[in-house]
Amino acid sequence: MLARISHGLRSIEGWRRWMLIAALIAVLGVPHYRLIPWFDPITRKSDLDGLMKLRGIQHDPSVSAMLGYWTGDDPQRVHTFRPLPATILWAEFHLWGWDRFPYMVTNMLWFIATALSLVWLCRIIRMPWMAAVGAGGLLMLLPTRGSLGALRLVATLHDLTCTLFALIAFGLLIRYLRDGRRSSLLAASLLMLGAYLSKEMALTLVPLTVVIAIVYRREAPLRRQLSAIGAAVAVGLLWFGWYQLAQANMQSVNPPEHSFAGLTGLLAMRWRSSLWLLLGLVARPIAALASRLEAAVHVRAGALMLFDYEFLEPLGLSVLFVIAFWLLWVEKRRWLAVLYAWKLCTYIPIIPLVDTFPWYEYMPHALDPILPAGAIVVGWHRWSVAERAKALWRNFRWSFADVNQQSTQSSTTDREAR
């Protein structure tokens, strides 16, 4: 069945295929749509950062103020250099004003574009169509703490744009490493710059490029690997110089998480707890199961707690996670390498943020659906191959038995004739 669906997708022409996938992904987003506060007013309680950003734009809605975002602070004035989403928000404010609904619609459009980009990335790493579409569909179908945190607020536009641009740049870098097209490297560089100008988390693209160049070292000559790494470093340095110039025009308000020195200090204080966050990133179901076991140990009714739904759910998910990981490790190790290269590298900026906000988890977990989607297709293929092998073995045994029977009958006939 999966093979027929995959064949059907391949048989549809290029743009029609992508239109069909986009429609499917939009429909699968219903679980997210149900949890979005489409019509809630923008207040301190519902969206403090969004309120402050829109107030900043309202205070000075001029074009000169918008151009100032590119050489200084953003509208919220909390020492952040994110000019691209600030400019988009400036344009949106002129269109929508204080009506929350259109901001939520544009957030969902960014999210749908990210899901489509995930499908495209899966095809870049040579996943079959069924697995690629399944990954994009699962991203839309399964709301997470990170996705809801990024979609429910006006201010988190920077997380949506940064993740989208970084994901496409990641795919273009892989394509460049495989086929050496300079146009892919140029487009990846421009998109990396767009990600940097959306949020400073894009700095993770430098170590990510190094890791992915190592992963694809057998297909990419050393010169191509060095070109990809050099482009990532050059874009990072360009952004860092730009940031230093803009920092001179920023307000003195400087939360620790908005500066490199502040993040370093937070990491020195919180590194032990950060290791627990790392476990949650690498194997979220197992981390949830460990938390449940820890809670059971610290209460008297711990033995009874092990048999309720809150324990059995993470236990079942942990078993499925181990099976999925094993399937990809055995059959498609490179898919696993791409997934965990992204997860671990994009996690670097939030290591010090133990009390992390939900939207910080959006980018590191954006590629998570690759694991279940890939494992389902690989498992189905292994099961189909096993069934075919069993059928061939049965046919061979029957054929061998028929040959033996015919040989026995022939020998009996010869003896009787003699």
The residue among 414 and 131 whose pLDDT is bigger is 131
- CB within 8 A of 90, min separation 6: which ones? 57, 61, 65, 66, 69, 75
Q: Is the residue at 365 inside a domain?
A: yes
Q: State how many domains the chain has.
A: 1
Report the phi/psi class of residue 126: left, alpha or beta, with left for phi > 0 and alpha for psi in -120 to 50: left
Specify the residue for token string 């061939």.
392
Which of the four pLDDT bands, split at 50, 70 and 90, describes residue 211? very high
Poorest-pLDDT segment among 33-37, 163-167, 312-316, 326-330: 312-316
Q: Is the residue at 75 inside a domain?
A: yes
Q: What is the mean pLDDT of residues 293-322?
A: 66
Angle between helix axes 14-28 and 2-11 (nearest 10 degrees) is: 130
119, 125 Cβ separation under 8 angstroms: no
Task: Write the pLDDT tens digit of every residue in 229-287.
Answer: 999 999 999 999 998 888 888 766 556 555 555 555 655 565 566 666 666 667 777 76
User: Which tokens in the block code for residue 215?
Assistant: 């992963």
For residue 352, give the DSSP letter.
Answer: T
pTM of the model: 0.84
Q: Is the residue at 415 inside a domain?
A: no
Q: What is the CA radius of gyration of the chain?
A: 27
- CB within 8 A of 373, min separation 6: which ones? 122, 127, 131, 132, 134, 135, 137, 138
Report the pLDDT value the prediction gives residue 313, as an integer from 0 to 100.
Answer: 74
- What is the CA angle 15-18-19, rounded to 5? 85
Q: Label each residue of 46-106 as H, E or C.
A: HHHHHHHHHHHHHHCCCHHHHHHCCCCCCCCCCCCCCHHHHHHHHHHHHHHCCCHHHHHHH
42, 86 Cβ separation under 8 angstroms: no
Q: Amino acid identity of 394?
A: R
Q: Is the residue at 7 inside a domain?
A: yes
Q: Is the residue at 98 inside a domain?
A: yes
Q: Amino acid identity of 146?
A: G
For residue 12, give the DSSP letter.
Answer: S
Name the residue range of residue 376's domain. Answer: 2-402
Q: Is the residue at 412 inside a domain?
A: no
